[in-house]
């Protein structure tokens, strides 16, 4: 019943990070909280939920043990595994093809779509 604590050694799962997380404030679901994402990570679940982290690291500021969620590393792992949002794929393709994240733009044209991960 008690998990093997080496499963998630960096996060103590105390949950004190929930309320400072801007994403949790909107979603109000544990999987979007820093603790929730740490649990998903420890369970080896690769999911688009990790893209919801804003990488602001406010959770690290309040974490009693200073745990860093490492969002960039997790996303790099997801991209390597081919798990990406459509917006992310489009953004990267646009950067590669057009040198900007928006796609083809005429001289002086403002982007109509703002793509983000």
Q: Which residues bind another protein (CB under 8 A)?
A: 1-3, 5, 12-20, 28-31, 33, 35-36, 39-40, 43, 45, 47, 49, 62-65
Residue 57 CB, shortest distance to another protein, in Å, is: 16
Report which secondary-structure segment, H or E, holds 79. Answer: helix 71-80
CB of 76 to another protein, least distance (A): 20
DSSP letter for each residue of 26-66: HH--GGGSHHHHHHHHHTT---GGGGG-----HHHHH-TT-
Q: How far is the CB of 3 from another protein (least distance, A)?
A: 5
Nearer to another protein, 69 or 101 (CB): 69
């Amino acid at each position: 019943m008690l998990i093997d604590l080496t499963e998630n050694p960096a996060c103590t799962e105390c949950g004190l990070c929930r309320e400072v997380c801007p994403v949790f404030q909107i979603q109000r679901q544990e999987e979007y909280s820093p603790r929730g994402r740490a649990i998903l990570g420890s369970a080896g679940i690769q999911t688009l939920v990790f893209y919801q982290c804003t990488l602001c690291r406010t959770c690290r500021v309040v974490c009693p043990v200073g745990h860093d969620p490492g969002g960039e590393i997790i996303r790099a792992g997801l991209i390597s595994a081919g798990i990406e949002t459509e917006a992310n794929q489009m953004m990267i393709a646009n950067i590669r093809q057009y040198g900007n994240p928006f796609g083809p733009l005429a001289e002086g044209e403002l982007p109509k779509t703002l793509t983000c991960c």
